[in-house]
Amino acid sequence: MSDSLERLGAEGYAAFLAERRAQILERVAEAAARAGRDAADVEVIAVSKTVGVEEVLLAHEAGYDLFAENRPQELRRKLAGLEGDARATGITFDMIGNLQTNKVNQVIGNVRLVHSISSAHLAEAVAKRSSARGLVTDVLVETNVSGEQSKSGFSPDELRQSLDVLMTFDGICLRGLMTMAPAHDPEAARRTFCGLRELAEELRTRSGLPLDVLSCGMSDDFPIAVEQGSTAIRLGRVAFDDEYALE
Ligand SMILES: *Cc1c(COP(=O)(O)O)cnc(C)c1O
Centre of ligand 1 to C-alpha 206, Å, is: 31
Confidence at residue 247, expressed as pLDDT on a 0 to 100 scale: 80
Q: Which residue's CA is the closest to the ligand 1 atom numbered 5?
A: 236
Alpha-carbon separation of residue 81 from 19, 89, 114, 233 (angstroms): 26, 13, 21, 25
> Which CATH number is 52's domain given?
3.20.20.10
For residue 219, which atom of ligand 1 is closest to its CA? Answer: 9
Q: Whose CA is nearest to atom 1 of ligand 1?
A: 236
Nearest CA to ligand 1 atom 6: 236
**CA-241 nearest atom, ligand 1:** 8
Q: Is residue 216 domain-resident?
A: yes
**Residue 150 to residue 170: CA distance in whole angstroms:** 31
In a domain, 246, yes or no: no
Q: Does any domain span residue 225?
A: yes
Is residue 245, in this structure, part of any structural domain at all? no
Give the pTM.
0.97
Alpha-carbon distance of 229 to 240, in angstroms, equals 24
* Distance from Cα 236 to the centre of ligand 1, integer Å: 5
Q: Which residue stretches of the chain have pLDDT < 50?
A: none
- Establish if 247 belongs to a structural domain: no
Q: How far apart are the first and last CA of the chain?
A: 26
Parent domain of 65: 3-240
Q: What is the pLDDT of residue 1?
A: 53
Number of domains in the chain: 1
Residue minimizing CA distance to atom 4 of ligand 1: 236
HEC profile for the chain? Answer: CCHHHHHHHHHHHHHHHHHHHHHHHHHHHHHHHHCCCCHHHCEEEEECCCCCHHHHHHHHHCCCCEEEECCHHHHHHHHHHHCCCHHHCCCEEEECCCCCHHHHHHHCCCCCCEEEECCHHHHHHHHHHHHHCCCCEEEEEEECCCCCCCCCCECHHHHHHHHHHHHHCCCEEEEEEECCCCCCCHHHHHHHHHHHHHHHHHHHHHHCCCCCEEECCCCCCHHHHHHCCCCEEEECHHHHCCCCCCC
Distance in angstroms (rounded) separating the CA atoms of residues 223 and 56: 23
**Cα–Cα distance measured from residue 88 to residue 55, given in angstroms and rounded to the nearest whole number:** 11
